[in-house]
Amino acid sequence: MSKRALITGITGQDGSYLAEHLLSLGYEVHGLVRRVALEQPQQRLGRLRNCLEDIHIHPSNLDSYASVFHVLSKNRFDECYHLAAQSFVAESFSDGFSTMATNINGTHYILAALQELQPDCRFYFAGSSEMFGKVRETPQREATPFHPRSPYGVSKVAGFHLTVNYREAYGMYCCNGILFNHESPRRGFEFVTRKITYGVARIKSGLASELRLGNLEAKRDWGHARDYVKAMHLMLQQPKPDDYVIATGETHSVRELCEFAFSEVGLDYRDYVRIDQTVFRPAEVDLLIGDASKARNVLNWEPRVNFVGLVEEMVQSDMKLISAGNEKDMPREVATPVG
C-alpha cells in the first residue's frame, strides 16, 4: 500500500517540488487548493504542470475550520505537510492582520482537525529562519532564541509553538522545519532572488533598462527548494518527531547576488541597479546563516546546489522564459514584479 500525503500550499514553489518528490517515492499525493485556483488553472496551477494528472486536488479554504475539517473527515492521510501561508515578508508589514490570521489560524485549524480526526497522521510545519530575526547568535541553530522582526516572523513563531504544543500535549508526531531562504526558477517574482534574475533577463533582452531594489546589504543563506523539500520528507520518517534547521551554511548579501546574476550574462550590476527607498522594510533581518549539523547527522541530509549554482540556474531559466516569448502568457501580478 502506498503512503498518502496531504500538502497544503501545493500550488507554490515548495508544494510543487514536494509533490514531485513524493510521487517519485511512490506516494499517493493530495493537495488543498483554493477554489479560485481551479477557475484559473493555467496561471494558478502552473507549477504543477508536470504532475497535475497524478495528484488529487481538494478545494478548501484554510481560513475556515469547517472547510479543513470537511476534507480531513473524508480522506485519511499518513503524512500532512503544511506549507500554505502568506509568505512574503514585505506584504506582512502592509497587512499584518491578514498575514497573522491566515498563518496562525490556518496552522491551528489543521492541527486541531488532525487531532480530532486522525491523530496518527504525521505533521510537518513550514517554520522559517525569519523567526530568528534580530539574531542572538551566528550561525543560527535549533537552540537559538527567536526574535522575529515582522508580522510574518511573529506568525511563524506562533505556528512553531503550536506545532510543539500539539506534540507535547497530545503525543502527536509533529515536526518543525526551520528552513532558511530557498529559491528556484519556480520562485514567485516578488522575492528578491527572482526579482533580480528576472530583472537581469529583461535587461539583457532589452525589455528593461534598470532594476529597482531596496537594502543591498541584507545577508541571507540561500539554498535550492528542490533540496529543501527532501529534508521535509526525511523529518517525517524518523522514529521520533523533532525540529530541524535546514540551511546551506553559506551567507551572501543581496549585493553579491546582484553581482553574480548580472555577471552571468556579462553585465555589471552597478550600471543597472537603482536604490528605491520605498522597498526598504520598517524592520530588517540583517544576517541569516544556518547551522544544519543536526539535519546532516540525524537525517543524513545535505544540500546539493550551492549559491553560485542556484543563481546560474535561475538566470538561465529566466533568459529562456523571455526568449520563448512566454512573458505575455504570464498572469498580470507576475508580469509586473513587485516588492
Q: Which residues are catalytic?
A: 128, 130, 152
Q: How far is the CB of 220 from ligand G4F (least distance, A)?
A: 5
- Three-class SS of residue 28? strand
Chain center to CA of 102:
15
70 binds ligand G4F (CB under 6 A): no
Transcribe 67-88 into DSSP letters: HHHHHHHH---SEEEE--S---
Point out which span in 31-39, 48-56, 74-82, 281-289 binds ligand G4F (CB under 6 A). 281-289
Say whether residue 192 binds ligand G4F (CB under 6 A): yes
* Count of residues making up the chain: 339
CB 26 to ligand G4F: min, Å:
29
Q: Does 157 bind ligand G4F (CB under 6 A)?
A: no
Residue 174 contacts ligand G4F per CB under 6 A: no
114 to 133: interface string for ligand G4F, x by CB under 6 A: --------------xxx---
User: Cβ of residue 308: shortest distance to ligand G4F, in angstroms?
Assistant: 18
Q: How far is the CB of 72 from ligand G4F (least distance, A)?
A: 25
Helix (H) or strand (E) segment spanning residue 317? helix 307-323
Amino acid code (one letter) for 214? G
Q: Phi and psi at residue 312, in whole multiples of 5°? A: -60, -50
How far is the C-alpha of 253 from the C-alpha of 257, rounded, in Å?
6
CA–CA dist 9, 82 (Å, integer): 7
Grid-cell match 518528490, residue found = 21
Position 191 contacts ligand G4F (CB under 6 A): yes
Question: In the complex with ligand G4F, which residue's Cβ is closer, 102 or 128?
Answer: 128
Please tell me whether residue 215 binds ligand G4F under the rule CB under 6 A. yes
Does position 96 bind ligand G4F by CB under 6 A?
Answer: no
Task: Report how far apart, in Å, the C-alpha atoms of 207 and of each of 200, 201, 292, 325 are.
Answer: 10, 8, 40, 12
Q: Where are the alpha helices (DSSP H) in 118-216?
A: 151-170, 192-204
Residue 63 near ligand G4F by CB under 6 A: no
Asked if 214 touches ligand G4F (CB under 6 A), the answer is yes
Binding site for ligand G4F (CB under 6 A): 87, 89-90, 128-130, 180-181, 190-193, 195, 213-215, 218, 220, 254, 279, 281, 284, 288, 339
